[in-house]
Amino acid sequence: MEISEESSAVMETRRAHQVHRVATVVLAVAAVHPSVPLGALGQLRDFVVAMLRHHHEAEDNELWPRIVAAAPDTEHELGALSEEHERLDAALDRLAAVNLSGQEAEDGAGETTGAGRGDTGLGDGVRGERARAALRDAAAAVRDTVHDHLDHEEPILFPALRDHVSPAEWQDFGQRVGATIPPLVGHLMAGFFDEEGAVAEAERVLAGLEGRREPRIP
Report DSSP letters for 53-108, one per residue.
HHHHHHIIIIIHHHHHHH-GGGHHHHHHHHHHHHHHHHHHHHHHH----HHHHSSS
17 membership: H or E segment, kind and range: helix 8-30
Reported as a single tens digit per residue, the pLDDT across 162-205 is 999 999 999 999 998 888 887 767 656 655 655 554 444 444 44
pTM above 0.95, yes or no: no
Q: Return the domain boundaries, the chain.
A: 9-199
User: Does residue 43 surpass a pLDDT of 50?
Assistant: yes
In angstroms, rounded to a whole number, what is the distance separating the alpha carbons of residues 112 and 115? 7
| Other residues' Cβ atoms within 10 Å of the Cβ of residue 139 | 28
Reported as a single tens digit per residue, the pLDDT across 123-172 is 456 677 889 999 999 999 999 999 999 999 999 999 999 999 999 999 99
Architecture in CATH of 9-199: Up-down Bundle (1.20)
